[in-house]
């Protein structure tokens, strides 16, 4: 066969995509073995029956043809109203592109911000798809390191230095954060916003966990002075409404950026199925109790895990302020996150993500998704801690 483009063969930078433990766990499950899967951000509930009824009614009512590429007007209006309500920033239909999930929005935003060979900055630890997404858009993915000791918050001065050195065109941030659970404080966001203004960067603000905040307050940086003109906000219904498989999200951006992104959507996705959009419209406009219900188990389980961890001292947690994960520090065992996760899967059939899957800043950590039923999660954490204690003694 002819060679594949370097754009695709270079997506993982010659390394792995970080999902090995997840794939191994899935293979064990496929071969009939029980595994407690605490790997990906997939809810343990399925999409609410009323949303499915709306989806069914829309499809049976005939909304099965090509839908408007930018998104149907009513959904774009509902997203604009939601964003305006939450942020106070004037937002209209022409600021919104409906996308097949936040992932497509992330790719599109980088296509809009970066020409081939431009540098795109992102914060390490990062959601595992980020570097590949940036490289797929033919940009250079440049991580900005953070430290566990400072809650994995980015330092604006470091971002400024890298922006200067690389001539970067964009900065990607994610708050509430996957994998760390950090909710960026206003001071950090103001600092990052000034760097974006000073270095003429697009800020790509991934806010897909904005309904899952346990402490602190989520602030959309688009609301900071001067930022509406240089911010592309990534939204999604995957996490807020347990609609991961429906593939529905959005970009909110300045009108000229949305106009250009509609051209990209026309040449790539050609829009999102109309019946999915109708279901999303129902979910967004019906009642907000639904989002609260979807988020509630993660808050409860976060507290539950912190309680289990408080009974020992080998494994410590970065106290997540939001999102559906906890980062555990297992450096006291002397093992890497990867070695720990592989050994835990072998010994106890518990699957967690190695911190290294999310960048070098998260080495020696594990990310635990709070996505199994409470008592099973509690047992898994106890087993993980006992396993860590055995390794710490041996170290």
Binding region for ligand PMP (CB under 6 A): 41, 101-103, 127, 174, 178, 206, 208, 236, 238, 244, 249
Distant-in-sequence, close-in-space partners of 61: CB < 8 Å, separation ≥ 6: none
Q: Minimum distance between the CB of residue 123 and ligand PMP, rounded to whole angstroms? A: 11
Beta carbon nearer to ligand PMP, 244 or 277: 244
Strand, helix or coil for residue 122: strand
Beta carbon nearer to ligand PMP, 367 or 391: 367
* φ, ψ (nearest 5 deg) of residue 354: -65, 140
Beta carbon nearer to ligand PMP, 102 or 354: 102
Question: Residues 191, 153: contact at Cβ < 8 Å?
Answer: no
* φ, ψ (nearest 5 deg) of residue 228: -60, -30
Beta carbon nearer to ligand PMP, 100 or 191: 100
Q: Minimum distance between the CB of residue 44 and ligand PMP, rounded to whole angstroms? A: 15
Give the helix, strand, coil percentages of the chain, each rounded to 5. 50, 15, 35
Q: Minimum distance between the CB of residue 288 and ligand PMP, rounded to whole angstroms? A: 19
Q: Minimum distance between the CB of residue 102 and ligand PMP, rounded to whole angstroms? A: 3
Beta carbon nearer to ligand PMP, 249 or 364: 249
Count Cα neighbours of 155 within 13 Å in the Cβ-side half-sphere. 10
Task: Count Cβ atoms within 10 A of the Cβ of residue 185 and give its class: 0-12 exposed, 13-18 middle, 19 or more buried.
Answer: middle
Beta carbon nearer to ligand PMP, 174 or 277: 174
Q: Minimum distance between the CB of residue 126 and ligand PMP, rounded to whole angstroms? A: 8
Signed CA dihedral, 354, 359, 363, 366: sign only: negative
Q: Minimum distance between the CB of residue 372 and ligand PMP, rounded to whole angstroms? A: 17
């Amino acid at each position: 066969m002819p060679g594949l483009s370097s754009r695709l063969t270079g997506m993982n930078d010659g390394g792995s995509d970080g999902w090995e433990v997840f794939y191994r766990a899935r293979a064990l499950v496929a071969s009939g073995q029980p595994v407690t899967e605490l790997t990906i951000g997939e809810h343990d509930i399925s999409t609410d029956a009323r949303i499915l009824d709306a989806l069914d009614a829309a499809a049976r009512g005939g909304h099965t043809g090509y839908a408007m590429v930018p998104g149907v007007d009513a959904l774009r209006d509902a997203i604009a109203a939601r964003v305006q309500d939450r942020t106070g920033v004037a937002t209209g239909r022409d600021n919104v592109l409906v996308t097949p999930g936040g992932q497509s929005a992330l790719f599109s935003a980088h296509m809009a911000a970066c020409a081939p060979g431009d540098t795109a900055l992102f914060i390490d630890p990062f959601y595992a798809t980020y570097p590949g997404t940036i490289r797929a858009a033919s940009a250079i993915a440049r991580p900005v390191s953070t430290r566990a000791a400072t809650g994995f918050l980015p330092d604006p001065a470091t971002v400024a230095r890298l922006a200067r050195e690389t001539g970067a065109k964009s900065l990607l941030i994610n708050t509430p954060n996957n994998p760390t659970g950090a909710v960026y404080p206003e001071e950090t966001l103001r600092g990052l916003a000034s760097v974006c203004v000073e270095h003429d960067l697009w800020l790509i603000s991934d806010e897909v966990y904005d309904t899952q905040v346990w402490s602190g307050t989520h602030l959309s940086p688009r609301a900071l002075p001067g930022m509406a003109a240089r911010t592309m906000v990534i939204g999604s219904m995957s996490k807020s409404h347990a609609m991961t498989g429906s593939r529905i999200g959005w970009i909110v951006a300045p009108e000229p950026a949305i106009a250009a992104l509609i051209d990209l959507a026309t040449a790539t996705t050609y829009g999102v199925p109309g019946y999915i959009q109708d279901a999303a419209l129902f979910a967004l406009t019906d009642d907000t109790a639904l989002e609260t219900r979807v988020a509630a188990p993660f808050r409860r389980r976060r507290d539950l895990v912190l309680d289990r961890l408080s009974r020992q001292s080998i494994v410590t947690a970065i106290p997540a302020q939001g999102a559906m994960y906890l980062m555990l520090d297992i450096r006291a065992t002397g093992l890497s996150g990867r070695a720990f996760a592989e050994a835990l899967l072998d010994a106890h059939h518990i699957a967690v993500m190695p911190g290294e899957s999310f960048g070098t800043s998260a080495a020696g950590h594990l990310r635990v998704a709070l996505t199994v039923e409470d008592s099973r999660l509690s047992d898994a954490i106890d087993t993980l801690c006992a396993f860590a204690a055995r390794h710490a003694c041996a170290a």
